């Protein structure tokens, strides 16, 4: 095995260690899961940039303010509810965000 430590990257190590096809034996469990979910290149990219860090993945992909802005454009409450649910929120919560904004805007005026 010839590894040039002066010019090394994770892909080179992956190849030098003969990991292709042996991921289940070679990779730590978390990285094996990532490999299976997103593939080798994306897994290696995550490893390179985030190794040692704990990554927290919130339950919701979108910010409530963004969903509230989308819902605000709809006048029909049922359509607002659909937007809220698609974003992972309840319509009551999104309307609460909108109400809070209105109160803040009134207080500034």
Residue-wise pLDDT for 30-69, tens only, equals 999 999 999 999 999 999 999 999 989 899 999 999 999 9
CA proximity to 81, closest of 62, 68, 66, 65: 68
pLDDT confidence band for 1 (50 / 70 / 90): low
Q: Determine the Cα angle at 58 with ends 35 and 105, to 5°.
A: 145
Quick check: 16 pLDDT over 90?
A: no
- Three-state DSSP state, 60: coil
Residue burial 60-71, b: 16+ Cβ < 10 Å; e: rest: eeeebeebbebb
**Whether this model's pTM surpasses 0.75:** no
Residue 28 sits at φ, ψ, to 5 deg, of -60, 155
Q: Are 80 and 66 in contact (CB under 8 A)?
A: no
Quick check: 3 pLDDT over 80?
A: no
């Amino acid at each position: 095995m010839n590894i040039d430590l002066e010019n090394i990257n994770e892909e080179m190590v992956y190849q030098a260690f003969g990991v292709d096809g042996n991921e289940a034996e070679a990779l730590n469990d978390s990285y094996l899961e990532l490999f299976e979910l997103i593939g080798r290149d994306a897994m290696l990219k995550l490893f390179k940039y985030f190794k040692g860090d704990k990554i927290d993945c919130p339950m919701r992909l979108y910010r409530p303010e963004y969903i509230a802005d989308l819902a605000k454009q709809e006048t029909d409450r049922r359509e607002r509810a659909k937007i809220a649910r698609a974003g992972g929120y309840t319509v009551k919560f999104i309307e609460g965000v909108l109400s809070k904004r209105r109160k803040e805007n009134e207080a500034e005026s």
